[in-house]
Structure 1
Amino acid sequence: MAKVYNLFLLLCFVAVIPTLHANILANTTYAKQHITTIDNEYWKEKAAIARKMSEEAYFPDPHELSRNFTSLITEDIAGNNHVRRNLNGQRAGVACEATNNIDRCWRCDPNWADNRQKLVNCVQGFGRKTTGGKGGPIYVVTSPADNDMVNPKPGTLRHAVTRDGPLWIIFARSMNIRLNQELMVSSNKTIDGRGVDIYITKGAGITLQYVSNVIIHGIKIHDIVPGTGGLIRDSESHFGFRTRSDGDGISIFGASNIWIDHVSMRKCSDGLIDAIMGSTAITISNSHFTDHNDVMLFGANDQHTIDKVMQITLVFNHFGKRLIQRMPRCRFGFVHVVNNDYTHWEMYAIGGSSKPTIISEGNRFVAPDNNNAKEVTKRVTNDDWKNWQWRSINDAFVNGAFFVQSGPELVDRPFSSKDMIAGKDGSYVQRLTSFAGSLKCRVVKSNLVIYFFNLFIKIYLYNFFSSR
């Protein structure tokens, strides 16, 4: 009798399984649809706010800003060659050197670790109003873990970047961080890797979507792959369903006032840095790029006229070994490419479509040996490109490199003699970019005890108040 009863229960259970499975699927589908509906409204609201901030960040006269920035560089070259101090730089055993005006603003100060937020005063170019986490507390990342996308553990990078309000994020020690899904960074954040070695590697990348006022400094990003998608937190008050990410190292989507400085990047599944959908007020400086095909994309679609507000400064960067193209590739917008070192490309360096304005100033272009790839520039279309304003000013060309100019000269706002002083041409680029990439900054030994004591107090206080 017992056997018959057990058999009866088994048959009932088997009969119920399809119903349970169907209910689970139905509930899951409903949940996703419900979340998607809520998310659509959430992201529409964020997009509207971000667009307003992009319009406010837009400079009506970008030539004036780039002209003033050029003046700062030339003054720095002309009058500031005594730059050795007492903080170790990138070269082992060599006294600290600051070889351009951005680095001179903060490097070689033995007390830099006690006043990290001084970095905010150093940004130049279109991203010059970026303040990141200035005025906010120091958040110390103590763990490289990234296991919970919805409720990240305190002390992790994902927990830090999804907090409300300004935060200056630093790291307790060197770390390899593998992001299981794209890292959604909220507004008013600084990710500051100085003093340790921080690798974002072998996982998903960093996303800045509809946010403003973000600084990323002093980290290494490589071997980035697409995230599979799912529920991901992007702020303290919101998480939502995200589709598969592209595999960009840093994705800037409808964001403004962004500064990326002293970052080393290579080998990402899509772009190293992409800026699209009306992103503007961006400076990318002092960074080192290698081992990649599509390096930078500024504007993703010829139909996205919102990118006309895009204004980006590329300055003091080194485009290095085993790069192929897109340094950058632009649509619409205004891009000031100034004092960068292009030592390697296989197809072209600077390209675009949809009538972007590109001012190439004081760069060094070293062409590959391939006679078919000597041209720096590439227009994707043959339509009216001769009217696009692509100008080369004081660039240095090596190994047969050449820049095909187009459009009007800058006669509407001619540079003054102060802006055009001798010595700001591409011949100075090797020095200006000699410390591009993530720096090996270390705290001066005499300050280590004080530094670690202060770090301990900051960790203790943050954990104490976070747990209340």
Structure 2
Amino acid sequence: MLPMSCILLMSLLCSFLPQIKAFSNLTLPHQHPYPEAVVHELHQKINVSFSRRELLSKDQGACLTGNPVDDCWRCDPNWSANRQKLAECGIGFGRAAMGGKGGQIYIVTDSSDNDPANPVPGTLRHAVIQDEPLWIIFSSSMTINLRHELIFNSYKTVDGRGANVQITGHGCITLQYISNVIIHNIHVHHCRPSGNTNIRASPTHVGFRGISDGDGISIFGSRNIWIDHCSLSYCTDGLIDAIMGSTAITISNNHFGHHDEVMLLGHNDKYTPDRGMQVTIAFNHFGEGLVQRMPRCRLGYIHVVNNDFTQWEMYAIGGSANPTINSQGNRYTAPSDANAKEVTKRVDTDDKEWSGWNWRTEGDIMVNGAFFVPSGVGMSAQYAEASSVQPKSVEQINQLTMYSGVFGDPRYYIKMSSDIYLIQLL
């Protein structure tokens, strides 16, 4: 006899089967074969967090928000003594990212970055290139002004909790051909191109690097990546870009502001391994001064869930080359420009071609004339049944995104129409 939990899981997957077949074209060894099952699991975690918050008394549940990531660790008053608990709190496609779990605590005490080819012990650059798993924390608040790209090795957590950590300068963060990285609670801003120099990528390898793009965080051919509670702004290229067969990525609880091309997912329209890219974008606040690409997608499966889009100038979500976009329970607030009310943009693609792309909106809240144009099976009720999510109220969106970005950044509420909006200042 199978346990009841196994029977229920099998029934769930069987009910998804007609829908899943469209998304099971495996092009990467680490992509999930049933992305809708991951979507359903995330909805369950959100529902459990909200239910727990509602069941507990006011005093007992004071620290709970309904956000499954935050509720996993923030209610422990001694969280700093058990920092690695965070690695158990992941959601979505990047939920298996271990970071430096099980490794030693490495304390960054030196904010300098004088020699990228021979980093000094105690610096962030020295920490992230080590071969063994490390959980990296900071002795105090600091600004790290990078001379060149900060190239990570696998199995690293950068944990900025308890300090104000600013990463800026040239190159910024590069995750290339690695796995299992968690980046949590840091500011990344004013990143500029750099390169044509030697940079150490591990204790035993120094290599020549060409000119970088100036991304805040560049994910290149990497997997099991989780970026959570960061504040990103003012970079030369993308704030977060994921390309060249990257997959199993979660981008959650971040604040994005003051930038043009916010997020690119997919190398180019012809790079077929990116069909296996799977990215969860959850509980983020897309805030002031943003123009487009929140995200701009190619080929893969992108789940955009319970985010607050409070500004764009051109569009929020764009794509080309037939990505699957699953938008659920977000709040989209359109700009005043009558020509920019549409949430979606099919980039350089004829209507007859994109009409078959699977883009759906479910439970989304549209404000100030915003509208989402669905297509493909995303227009069918049958497809929606595969992972239905209850439409979120404005109050729930506020609750889920109220701590987006780095903890402790100043916030205030303003009144707009009948809704309360939470704004984070940069």
Residue matched to 2:327:
360
Q: Does 1:298 align with 2:271?
A: no
- What residue is the counterpart of 2:406 in the other structure? 438
Match of 2:151 in 1: 184
- 1:343 matched residue in structure 2: 310
**1:246-288 per-position Cα deviation (integer Å, ceiling 9, x unaligned):** 1000000000000000000000000000000000000000000
Q: Does 1:128 align with 2:101?
A: no
- What is the CA distance between 1:150 and its match in structure 2? 1.3
- The normalised TM-score by structure 2 is 0.85
Q: Which residue of 2 aligns with 1:17?
A: none
- Aligned pairs for 1:309-388 (under 5 A) are 309-380=276-347, 381-382=349-350, 383-388=352-357
SS of corresponding position for 1:202: strand
Tell me if the contact between 1:226 and 1:247 (Cα under 8 Å) persists in the aligned partners: yes
Whose radius of gyration is greater, 1 or 2? 1
Q: Identify the residue that residue 35 of structure 1 maps to in structure 2.
A: none
The Cα shift of 1:362 comes to 0.2
User: What letter matches 1:431 in structure 2?
Assistant: Q
Helix, strand or coil at the partner of 1:103: helix
1:399-420, Cα deviation, whole Å (9 max, x unpaired): 000000001046666647xx65
Of 53, 61, 78, 1:111 maps to 78
SS at match of 1:281: strand
Contact 2:147/2:169 (8 A) holds in 1: no
CA distance in 2, matches of 1:85, 1:164: 45
* Structure 1, unaligned runs of 5 or more: 1-53, 87-94, 442-468
Q: Secondary structure at the match of 2:39?
A: helix
* TM-superposed deviation, 1:72: 1.6
Partner letter of residue 274 of structure 1?
D
Matched, 1:248 2:221: no
1:169 aligns with 2:142: no
Please give the secondary structure, in 1, of the residue aligned with 2:28. Answer: helix
Higher share in strand: 2
Mapped partners of 1:318, 1:248: distance in 2: 19
- Residues 286-295 or 65-74, more deviating: 65-74
Amino acid at match of 1:59: H
3-state SS, counterpart of residue 279 of structure 2: strand
Aligned to 1:285: 252
User: Residues 421 and 282 of structure 1: is their aligned pair in 2 closer, same or farther, counting only changes over 3 Å?
Assistant: closer
Amino acid at match of 1:193: G
Please tell me whether the aligned partners of residues 178 and 204 of structure 1 are also in contact (alpha carbons under 8 angstroms): no
CA shift digits 1:315-354 (9 cap, x unpaired): 0000001100000000000000000000000000000000
How many percent of aligned residue pairs carry the same amino acid?
54
What is the aligned residue count?
379
Q: Give the whole-Å Cα distance in 2 for the aligned partners of 1:331 and 1:246.
A: 19
Partner Cα separation in structure 1 for residue 59 and residue 181 of structure 2: 29
Partners of 2:382 and 2:177 lie apart in 1 by 34
Residues 152-301 of structure 1 aligned to structure 2 (within 5 Å): 152-301=119-268
Tell me if structure 1 keeps the 8 A contact 2:363–2:391: no
Contact 2:28 2:273 survives alignment (8 Å): no
Residue 63 of structure 1 aligns with which residue?
A: 36
With over 3 angstroms needed to count, the CA separation of the structure-2 counterparts of 1:320 and 1:124, relative to structure 1, is: same
Q: Relative contact order, CA 8 A, sep 6+: which one is greater?
A: 1
Q: Deviations 1:162-195 (Å, cap 9, x if unpaired)? A: 1011000000000000010000000000000000
Give the alignment's TM-score, normalised by structure 1.
Answer: 0.78
State the SS of the aligned residue for 1:387. Answer: coil
- C-alpha separation in 1, matches of 2:96 and 2:252: 15
Does the C-alpha gap of structure 1 residues 414 and 365 become closer, same or farther in structure 2, counting only changes over 3 Å? closer
Task: Give the Cα separation in 2 of the matches to 1:83 and 1:158.
Answer: 45
Give the aligned partner of residue 39 of structure 1.
none
- 8 A Cα contact 2:364 2:392, kept in partner: no
Whether 1:428 and 2:396 are equivalent positions in the alignment is: yes
Partner of 1:394: 363
Moved more, 359-368 or 65-74: 65-74
User: For 1:115, what is the secondary structure of its paired residue?
Assistant: helix
Deviation for aligned residue 1:68: 1.7
